[in-house]
Amino acid sequence: MTYAIEAQGLEKTYPPSTKALDGLSLAVSEGTVFGLLGPNGAGKTTAVKVLTTLAHPDAGAARVAGIDVLADPKRVRRAIGVVGQKTGTAPELTGRENLELQGRFHGLRGRRLRPRVDELLERFGLTEAADRSVKTYSGGMVRKLDVAIGLIQQPPVLFLDEPTTGLDPEARAAMWDEIRRLRSEAALTILLTTHYLEEADHLADRLAIVDRGKVVAQGTPDELKAELEGDTVHVELATPQPNGRAHHALESLAQIRELRVADRELHARVENGAAALPAILAALGQAGLDVATATIARPSLDDVYLRYAGRSFAEAERASEPDVTEKGGNR
Amino acid sequence: MTAVALNSWDMTRRWVLALWRQPWYVGVTLFQPVVWLLLFGALFKNVVQIPGFEGTSYKDFLAPGVVIMSAVFSAGWNGMGTIEDLDRGVMDRFLVAPVSRAPLIIGPLAQSAIVITIQSVIIVGLALAIGASFPGGVPGVIALIACAVLLGAATAAVSNAIALTARQEETLIGATNFLILPLTFLSGCFMQLSLAPGWIQTVGDYNPVNWAVAAGREAVSANADWAFVMARVGLLAALAIACVLLATRAFRSYQRSA
């Protein structure tokens, strides 16, 4: 198996003491879409910055397209396309001029440049807007142009850092379609970072869950979900529970493998949700706790995240401090 | 090496297009020196009557001063485009592309040089129209513009270095005003320094704005002392190179902190 992207023990601390990467390792097979999933501030963007030669790690090693990132950053830059979290398009230039400028950086000129630019404009539905300045583009159009620029030299490896953050639902759906199309290109390897669970679930062949600067779990979305056998029972109490009473009431139930209680919310992992639910409700009733809603669900990536990061995705999002390197977004 | 040259041209083209598409900015940049020329020309008209003032026309004296001052002023804001690029993610995208750092700094400097050249030609033209004279003729005016461009390149490089280090418009605006206004008013742009207090003359000896204005004024005068002019041009060129190196270092420090 050849890997298009390999990272080993990457570490990076921003002064004074923000540990953005804490021994992050990953391996991405050629021709696949690899999702890096984590809340804001988990270290995804820093990982992309290191792998794309923008930032130097304090420790660790990385290879992209078989090239050592630290030893030969110039060759890596020829082999990658990068769509950062921010756009990276010059607003005063037209879409065409933006593409041409980046093409020239890759040594494309004249007769080799023009058809490639036209082809990309066509493919991303930007032909009509090609000669308007990017200032006049919608958010979705700018994002498409960003991806087009990332593909200008037909790189073997493409990095997409939160490509859909800040897009409206329609533009997001269009971007998903685009990523699916890219996925079908056998020669292209994509590293996609996202803090949308469903995005990783839908688009990634394999994914790594990142928390606090390291990979805490890795596999296909199905594998990760399968590791959580059984169902999740989710109970919402009618009133906030007094200290640990719900926990106390349920901990003796044999069906429950894992239990998490936060304020009015209970998450229990059980083998058979339908069988366990009556027992759970009865136990809560005995403890004098009123139940508002109860649901049984197959494990989602949210549960996977909860399991490996030890906190729910929403909690992790809230805990992440506002951070200049990672733009805040709503989930 | 050819790639560096070609990409420098690409970046220069980008920055000139960027400028050209901001007609307001172009208008103000080119029009403002005209205001300075007319305003200061009227305000300080009687300076020539001060005993010890060499020459009889303040317009003749002022025109090279306005050329140099306008060059420093417009070059001082050169880093603003870089800050916009940093904010928007354009700079990061350039830095992960296979382009060397030189074109990224040469682009904005070339833009500045082009603006300064056009600005200077307009000022000289208007000065002639209102009755100033340049006894040094065309070679003198070319040397004057060369001084303006070299000083502008040094200023623009420092402006970019500040932009890459501070990454904030407010800081750049503050730093630019803090540096440029005193350097301009402590030079011979508007006033013959030999008539100023001793300490200002001393500052003038070390003030690059004054090097440029003294050399430019000498170059356009009758019977110019070309040895003096070339010595100052050499100093300005050395300064410009040092400032470009500083800006290149600022790139590295930006990347280290990325």
Question: pTM (2 decimals)?
Answer: 0.85
**What's the rounded Cα separation, in Å, for the pair A293 and A296?**
10
- What is the pLDDT, as a whole number, of residue A40? 81
Q: What percent of chain B has pLDDT over 90?
A: 85
**3-state secondary structure at position B128:** helix
Structure tokens at A61: 């090693």
Which residue type does A139 have?
G
**Tokens 């270092």 sit at which residue?**
B249
Q: What is the arithmetic mean of pLDDT over B164-170?
A: 93
- What is the pLDDT, as a whole number, of residue A225? 78
User: Of B17, B94, B258, which has the smallest distance from its Cβ to A92's Cβ?
Assistant: B17
Taking contacts as CB-CB distances below 8 angstroms, the residues of chain A near B99 are 105
Q: Mutating which of A54, A152, A158 best tests the B interface, going by the most B Cβ atoms within 10 A? A: A54
- Residue of chain A whose alpha carbon sits nearest to that of B18: A92
Domain A229-298 of CATH type 3.40.50.720: no
Q: Is the pLDDT of residue A324 over 70?
A: no
Q: pLDDT per residue over A135-167, tens digit each?
A: 999 999 999 999 999 999 999 999 999 999 889
Q: pLDDT per residue over B1-48, tens digit each?
A: 689 999 999 999 999 999 999 888 888 888 889 899 999 999 998 999
* Chain B residues 99-138 with CB within 8 Å of chain A: 99
- What is the pLDDT, as a whole number, of residue A328? 37
Structure tokens at B65: 């001063």
Instruction: Kindly list the domain boundaries of chain A, sorted by start residue.
Output: 3-225, 229-298
Which residue type does B78 have?
N
Helix (H) or strand (E) holding B112, with range, is helix B101-129
**What's the rounded Cα separation, in Å, for the pair B1 and B8?**
11
Q: Which letter, b or e, does each residue of A145-157 get, where b requires 16 or more Cβ atoms within 10 Å of its Cβ?
A: bbbbbbbbbebbb
Q: Report the Cα B197 to chain-centroid distance in Å.
A: 26
pLDDT band at residue A322, thresholds of 50, 70 and 90?
A: very low
Q: What percent of chain B has pLDDT over 70?
A: 100
**3-state secondary structure at position A245:** helix
User: Which fold would CATH assign to domain A3-225?
Assistant: Rossmann fold (3.40.50)
In terms of average pLDDT, the best of A60-69, A255-264, A271-280 is A60-69
* Residue pairs between chains A and B whose CB atoms are closer than 8 Å: 76
pLDDT band at residue A327, thresholds of 50, 70 and 90?
A: very low
- What is the pLDDT, as a whole number, of residue A193? 95
Decide if A72 touches B, using CB distance below 8 A: no
- What is the pLDDT, as a whole number, of residue A320? 61
- What is the pLDDT, as a whole number, of residue A325? 41
State the average pLDDT for chain A.
88
The size of chain B, in residues, is 258
- Residue of chain B whose alpha carbon sits nearest to that of A325: B258
| A72: phi then psi, degrees, rounded to nearest 5 | -140, 60
**What's the rounded Cα separation, in Å, for the pair A267 and A275?**
16
Q: How many CB atoms lie within 10 A of CB A166?
A: 16
DSSP annotation of A121 = H
Question: Comparing C-alpha atoms, which of B104, B75, B254, B76 is closest to residue B165?
Answer: B254
Q: If 0-12 CB within 10 Å is exposed, 13-18 middle and 19+ buried, where does residue A97 land? A: buried
Q: What is the arithmetic mean of pLDDT over A232-239?
A: 86
Q: What is the arithmetic mean of pLDDT over A104-121?
A: 95
* Chain B residues 48-87 with CB within 8 Å of chain A: 85, 87
- What is the pLDDT, as a whole number, of residue A243? 66
- What is the pLDDT, as a whole number, of residue A177? 94
Taking contacts as CB-CB distances below 8 angstroms, the residues of chain B near A86 are 87-89, 92
Torsion of CA A74, B108, A134, A176, to 10 degrees: 20
**What's the rounded Cα separation, in Å, for the pair B54 and B52?**
6
**What's the rounded Cα separation, in Å, for the pair B115 and B70?**
10
Taking an 8 Å cut-off on Cβ atoms, the answer to whether B96 and A104 are in contact is no
Structure tokens at A138: 């919608």
Q: Is the pLDDT of residue B71 over 90?
A: yes
Q: ipTM value of the model? A: 0.91
**What's the rounded Cα separation, in Å, for the pair A227 and B154?**
62
Decide if A102 touches B, using CB distance below 8 A: yes
Q: Please enumerate in sequence order all residues whose Cβ is within 8 A of that of A15, keeping only pairs 6 or more positions apart, or say none.
A: none
Q: How many CB atoms lie within 10 A of CB A179?
A: 21
Decide if B95 touches A, using CB distance below 8 A: yes
**Tokens 């759970």 sit at which residue?**
A280
Taking contacts as CB-CB distances below 8 angstroms, the residues of chain A near B255 are 54-56
- What is the pLDDT, as a whole number, of residue A1? 61
pLDDT band at residue B219, thresholds of 50, 70 and 90?
A: very high
**What's the rounded Cα separation, in Å, for the pair A196 and B93?**
24
Q: What is the arithmetic mean of pLDDT over A318-326?
A: 51
Q: pLDDT per residue over B179-205, tens digit each?
A: 999 999 999 999 999 999 999 999 999
Taking an 8 Å cut-off on Cβ atoms, the answer to whether B14 and A84 are in contact is no
Q: Is the pLDDT of residue A242 over 80?
A: no
Taking an 8 Å cut-off on Cβ atoms, the answer to whether A55 and B89 are in contact is no
Q: pLDDT per residue over A37-58, tens digit each?
A: 988 888 999 999 999 999 999 9
Taking contacts as CB-CB distances below 8 angstroms, the residues of chain A near B251 are none
- What is the pLDDT, as a whole number, of residue A330? 36
